[in-house]
Structure 1
């Protein structure tokens, strides 16, 4: 296994995992989105909005020598708390407490990549403890959104250690180059979604069951 400061500029993948439609579950995707919008890198790592794709991400893991993951993880800590996990410990934390289907799916991706013999030499998980997940159509809660800046700083330091130089982006990112679908980018998503008073955010009310008092 390589050391913590060994460069791997040609094989680095940065992956954001989660569902932006379920409030703090979108933390990982929002971090990768912000990295791409705010910085250029020399050389450029592969930046991926992994969403909830699960096993469809296997090819990206197999191709990476170094893998940086951003995700919302239920560590059992106060909301907004960041925790960094490295290498062999990463699959254990991804499966510690399932918040949604994406975590178990990605744990299986790592296991399959190891079985195929194509597994990153370094993996780092930057996870954030969520505050709210049961808000369909909601966005990051303030405490989790505030955690993005220190999470991005940790991510930038990791990329520097792995041989990537970050440069402040001067030209706006072209829409076609964005890792996130334009309509789901943070600004467009927050400005276009209806308030909770106008749209049910816990599910379709036609399918909600209300207990009848006895």
Structure 2
């Protein structure tokens, strides 16, 4: 909040607000409890070190939003993510546990997340590590409680991504309409079980495809022939 006030004062004076340094932008925040995660979040942008991930996201993912609710255990949350791809809706449900200032997930993928600082009062910046096959990848996501973030907030996130030595982020489009929030919507395909129960050989193949530019090109060829369920 202080950064926003300072920025407003400097702009009013006709000056440009200085960018925060990398030490500040990569600072890990103390998680106060699971309640700060609860509610609806729009995924505004994401960067990962998977080769070609930005290109894949821009080509096939229109937008993403998620609903976080309390799980049965006091230190856990349930996350239902809805993605619009190919003009159709897909959902993934996961459970995350909070311990040692870190959120961890074992299903449908193995992953961990920590919070990074942001001057946006109703945003979250999550730094993640997740395992595909035998490889671990890193990524950072900007999420907001609004349909979209301001230009200055996106600029700050781009600076964070640069400080983390990750590729420029893919920015999602909130103007194309989000998937409906009805959990019983018959037009939404749940991918949770398919991801979790993919056999080891399939995951090794997927790991190989996403780990190189040549593999990404092969994956693009496979996706180009994909037809969403009717």
Larger RCO (alpha carbons 8 Å, 6+ apart): 1
What TM-score comes out, normalization by structure 1 length? 0.30
What TM-score comes out, normalization by structure 2 length? 0.28
Return the structure number with greater helix share.
Answer: 1
